[in-house]
Amino acid sequence: MRLATRAKGPPDGQLILVSADGSRALPATGIAATLQYALEEWDGVEADLRRLDARLAAGEGEVLNATDLLAPLPRAWQWLDGSAFPTHGELMQQAFGLPAIETDRPLMYQGMSHRFLSGHEDVPLPDEADGIDFEGEFGVITDFVPMGTCAADALKHVRLVILINDWSLRAIAPVEMKTGFGWVQAKPACSVAPFAVTPDALGDAWADGRIHLPLAVTLNGAWFGHPHGREMEVGFHDLIAHAARTRDLVAGTIIGSGTISNADHATVGSACISERRAIETIAQGKPATAFMRFGDRVRIHAPANGGSPFGVIDQRVVSGRSA
């Protein structure tokens, strides 16, 4: 199934189901008004949602206007972002002389979750000097996860898989990191591709708690990278278990993989500007690629079998300053 949220009514929008080709939709009227409700009541509504999905497969549905869509979860109870691709961290450490993080635990931070941007709306930010960067990554949305859930049991709590652009302000991040209290200003609202997909709909691309798909990234129309999701050092089951060690996770918790990064970065490129700048610094002694400026556009999607199961993130950065 492919689920989406249409901008209609309250801030959480209207839950709809979308056809496999992304062209048609049916509202989940009478089943679940919002995606958050569906996640909280998944066992009770899944069968009805799948029957609705079967109607779409049979050719029913109205023409879908993608510009009407919000992020699948326009706001969420919790957003936890991992850093599960070791190449990314290793490049940062080598280029900028950062110490290795000595831990045997998955890396994770808690970010802003009260707003997620759609994959097509402009992204307002205050200042180009803040070092505007995109970060392409995959994510999962869980149902309720009890405290102490182990990795072996965690995947049964994954209800949906999503594609995320985790916006970062690189000039602010080091300042906040030095405080030891984590990020606030350096991590504005993330963007999410329009469709949240059930794991079974991904077929073989969902395996070992990982999304085995490439992430195609262009910046201002030019190729930037196509790193692959299979190189996660730890899977989403490990990230869920880590997050749930000392607390329950509410239904609607979003967990991210962190920036997708591959060991063969010379061939496959990168999913964020900071990593490319690190590669340039290692090779040339200084970075050559600039961070984003107002008017720049980034496009991110995960191609699969001639389509894009999550849809496309295609956004322009604009000035968010008041006149």
Q: Specify the pLDDT at position 322.
A: 60
The least confident of 65-69, 96-100, 255-259, 281-285 is 96-100
Q: Are residues 168 and 43 in the same domain?
A: no
The CATH number that applies at residue 123 is 3.90.850.10
pTM of the model: 0.95
The per-residue pLDDT for 295 is 98
Instruction: Say whether pLDDT at 99 is over 80.
Output: no
- Whole-angstrom Cα distance, residue 302 to residue 82? 19
pLDDT at 103: 75
Closest CA to 289 of 55, 90, 95: 95
- To the nearest whole number, what is the mean pLDDT of the chain? 94
Q: How confident is the model at residue 156 (pLDDT cuts 50, 70, 90)?
A: very high
More confident residue, 96 or 144: 144
Angle value at C-alpha 172, between 171 and 174, nearest 5 degrees:
85
Question: Is residue 130 a part of any domain in this protein?
Answer: yes
* Statement to judge: residues 119 and 247 lie in one domain: yes
What number is the average pLDDT over the span 178-184? 83
How much is the pLDDT for 94?
80
Instruction: Give the phi and the psi of residue 110 in degrees, each rounded to 5.
Output: -100, 125
Does 73 reside within a domain? no
Are both 136 and 242 inside the same structural domain?
A: yes
Torsion of Cα atoms, 155 then 156 then 159 then 160, to 10°? 20
CB atoms within 10 A of CB 9: 10
Give, in order, the Cα–Cα distances in Å from 260 to each of 71, 191, 227, 235, 271. 20, 16, 6, 13, 6
Task: For residue 31, give every residue at least 6 positions away whose Cβ sits within 8 Å of its Cβ, in sequence order, or none.
Answer: 15, 38, 45, 48, 49, 52
- 259 in the same domain as 141: yes
Structural domain for 214, as ranges = 78-319
Residue 97 in this model has a pLDDT that exceeds 80: no
pLDDT in tens, 32-65: 999 999 999 999 999 999 999 999 999 999 999 9
* Residue carrying the six token digits 């960067």: 133
Tell how strand 14-18 and strand 2-6 pair up. antiparallel
Mean pLDDT of 178-203: 93
* pLDDT grade for 87, boundaries at 50, 70 and 90: confident
147 within a domain of the structure (yes/no): yes
pLDDT band at residue 306 using 50, 70 and 90 as cut-offs: confident
Number of domains in the chain: 2
Considering only residues 178 and 311, tell me which one the structure prediction assigns the higher pLDDT.
Answer: 311
- Residue 211 lies inside a defined structural domain of this protein: yes
